[in-house]
Amino acid sequence: MPDGSLSLPARLCLLAWDPERPGAADTARLHRLVRAGALAELARRGLLTDDEGIATPADQDSRTGDAVLDGLLDLVRESVPRPWRAWVRAYARVTFDAVREQLVADGYLRAERRRVLGVFPSVDHVPARPAAARALREETRNVLDGPVPAGRVPERDALVAALAGSAELRGLGPGEDRARRRGRVEELTERGAAAVPGLGKVLREVRAAVSDGAAGTVAPAGRG
């Protein structure tokens, strides 16, 4: 998948930017999607484990070297224990904002300042590398709907597609067969979790929290 050096939450955040439809507002559901990606990344690396449904730090010292992931890991360590679904929602905007600024710093997004009604300051975040955003979206759509067996999809690509498919990102389209896509999301979840014991349970919990109580699809991100 393009931009393989990006973390899981960064890929999910970049997927939400549609170069063809700039300026749309981000949503709480998108914030949850990015947070779910960060939790899944930490679980995949063994830094968060499942203890009877509670997201639990493996130790008090490990770091990832990624400021966003380490910030979330510190937040979990310093807070009262919560289930995975609660952590998908709690302070999710904080993780989203941090990932968005990381993408700005890495040159994937650009912040454009403007004034609403000529008075109120506002910022639009737009793709600085539209081709990268398009390529990531197209590859993710291919993973979701394409003919390649789930077992042959790279694990991290499977995780991106499974979470993005659960959030029903508008840029990925509804799929020609919604039932088939739901089944594919399950297959990709299994594939993404294959190498880490217990990760499948975590992924299903965070996927459920992303989609709980939401109607429709996640609109492209932009204005903030």
Phi-psi region of 147 (alpha: psi -120 to 50; beta: other; left: phi over 0): alpha
pLDDT class of 48 with cuts at 50, 70, 90? very high
Give the domain 8-211 fold.
yeast vps74-n-term truncation variant fold (1.10.3630)
Question: Which pLDDT score is estimated for 222?
Answer: 52
- For 172-213, what is each residue's pLDDT tens digit? 876 567 788 889 999 999 999 998 989 999 999 999 999 874
Q: Does the predicted model carry a pTM greater than 0.85? A: yes
- For 151-166, what is each residue's pLDDT tens digit? 999 999 999 999 999 9
Assess whether pLDDT exceeds 50 at residue 9.
yes
Mean pLDDT of the chain: 87
Strand partners, 115: 121
